[in-house]
Amino acid sequence: MTTKHTPGPWRVVDEMPRLVVDVNCAVIARPQANTAMGVDEYLANARLIAAAPTMREALYEMIDGTDDANALVVRIRALLAHIDGAI
């Protein structure tokens, strides 16, 4: 599968400002905070951006029909836990 975006995985840098970077630490995104947004919301937005390549892969697996539906559900649950900050 070819893409036009920077390949994943992406991750959120732990220190402020929260940057989304690729495996080579190249900056993918710089989420912006505003005065009404708390740190938790800012971090949640960064995690959601960082999860985009993995979400894309999972969606393609779903529509292409994976042979192992249970493994796909496990992967999606892990992805959601990561997005929600549980991992």
12-36 pLDDT tens trace: 997 777 899 999 999 999 888 777 8
Cα(7)–Cα(61) distance, integer angstroms: 17
For residue 78, give its domain range.
Answer: 11-83
For 38-77, how does the pLDDT look when each residue is reduced to its tens digit (9 = 90+)?
888 888 889 999 999 988 888 887 777 767 778 878 888 8
Identify residue 46 by its one-letter amino acid code: A
CB of 42 closer than 8 Å to CB of 54: no
Phi-psi region of 85 (alpha: psi -120 to 50; beta: other; left: phi over 0): left
Considering the domain boundaries, does residue 25 fall inside one? yes
* Total number of domains in the chain: 1
Residues 6 or more apart whose Cβ sits within 8 Å of residue 25: none
Considering the domain boundaries, does residue 2 fall inside one? no
Considering the domain boundaries, does residue 42 fall inside one? yes
Query: What is the structure's pLDDT at 50?
Result: 92
Considering the domain boundaries, does residue 5 fall inside one? no
Considering the domain boundaries, does residue 57 fall inside one? yes
Tell me the residue ranges of DSSP E strands in 1-87.
11-12, 20-21, 27-29
